Amino acid sequence: MGFLTIGDIFRVVFGAKIELAATIFMVPVFFGFVAAQLVALVLILGTVTTLTLTKGILISAGILVLYTFLSEMWAIHQRVMSSKSKKAAFQSTYLAGGFYRTFGLRLLFIALGAKVLYPELYLENKQMLLPSMVLAHVGLPVQIIFFGALISAIMNTASSSILAPSALISENLVQSLFKDRLSDRHLLLTFRTSIVFVAIISVFTALQDANVYELVAGASILLLVSLFIPLIVCYVLEKSIFRHSFSFYGSRNAYLINGRSFRN
């Protein structure tokens, strides 16, 4: 059926008006997610530089947009459509969700242990608890591996979080408003413009609230309150449609189903 976004599912199940409403609710959600990743990058860069919050966010946003244009934008369809079958794509989504919960819980347990062992670090800066522990207690090679892996994860997460709302804007807002009359060239231009737009709004969001937890929690609340129940209704009413969409939208559906409330 050629689903590209969650908005496409709402259009098939509920109609074009609900697709538009769902898209309007979904797009702002990702501003908080991207802003949280920008703040996280600044916190990591702050361990080795003297960048201020504002400069760090601006620099991080510029790097992120460039990274998205040069790599993720061209590889997204290959990544989400790489499963050998619908069944494999469907099952791998749940498997990925299980891995996410498993490894995510490990980090939570480490953070809880650090809170007990180093209450002074926790009180000084909660967001820097784990990085501060790494800097204080491990050697340079482990520090390089830790921060390198962390930056890589943040960049990939942030890039995906920019691509998702950009696809919604171009496919489910602009394309729908023009009644599918846009050429591929104009649609690509709209998509690229949307990436920059999402980055700019995310920068302002990050400057307003530099707390990673609050940014992600706020975005997740909006997502769960506005769209979780309609998405479940889609699943109940049209299992075959929803199942098929997993092969096109990959782990982003699991992101919505599992809530993914606290990413960092």
Q: What is the reported pLDDT for 201?
A: 93
Could you tell me the two tokens for 247?
């092969």
Assess contact for 13 and 234: CB atoms under 8 A.
yes
Residue 205, pLDDT > 50, answer yes
Compute the chain's Rg from CA coordinates: 19
Q: Could you tell me which residues come within 8 angstroms of residue 42 by beta carbon, excluding any fewer than 6 positions away? A: 51, 53, 56, 57, 60, 210
**pLDDT, average across residues 54-80:** 76
Q: Kindly report each contact of residues 152-159 with a partner whose C-beta sits within 8 Å and lies 24 or more positions away, as own/partner.
A: 154/37, 154/40, 154/41, 154/44, 155/37, 155/41, 155/64, 155/67, 156/72, 157/33, 157/37, 157/263, 158/33, 158/34, 158/37, 158/38, 158/41, 158/64, 159/64, 159/67, 159/68, 159/71, 159/72
- Highest mean pLDDT of the ranges 45-54, 187-196, 218-227: 187-196
Flag whether pLDDT at 200 surpasses 80: yes
Q: Is the pLDDT of residue 231 over 70?
A: yes
- HSE of 252, CA atoms in CB hemisphere, 13 A: 28
b/e map 81-111, b = 16+ CB within 10 Å: eebeeeeebbebbeeebeebeeeeeeeeeee
Average pLDDT over residues 92-120: 78
Asked whether 45 and 151 are in contact (CB, 8 A), the reply is no
Q: What is the pLDDT of residues 107-156, one digit of tens each?
A: 778 778 888 887 877 777 778 888 888 887 888 888 888 888 888 888 88
Provide the pLDDT confidence category of residue 81 given band limits of 50, 70 and 90: very low
Determine the Cα–Cα distance for residues 120 and 225; give it in Å rounded to an integer: 36
Mean pLDDT estimate for the chain: 76
Cα–Cα distance, 10 to 133 (Å, whole number): 45
pLDDT-derived band at 72 (thresholds 50, 70, 90) equals low
Phi, then psi, of 223 in degrees rounded to 5? -65, -50
- Which of the listed ranges 131-140, 166-175, 192-201 does the model predict with the highest average pLDDT? 192-201
- Name the maximum alpha-carbon separation found in the chain: 61
Q: Residues 200-225: what's their mean pLDDT?
A: 85
d(CA 42, CA 263): 16
Task: Identify the pLDDT of residue 2.
Answer: 57
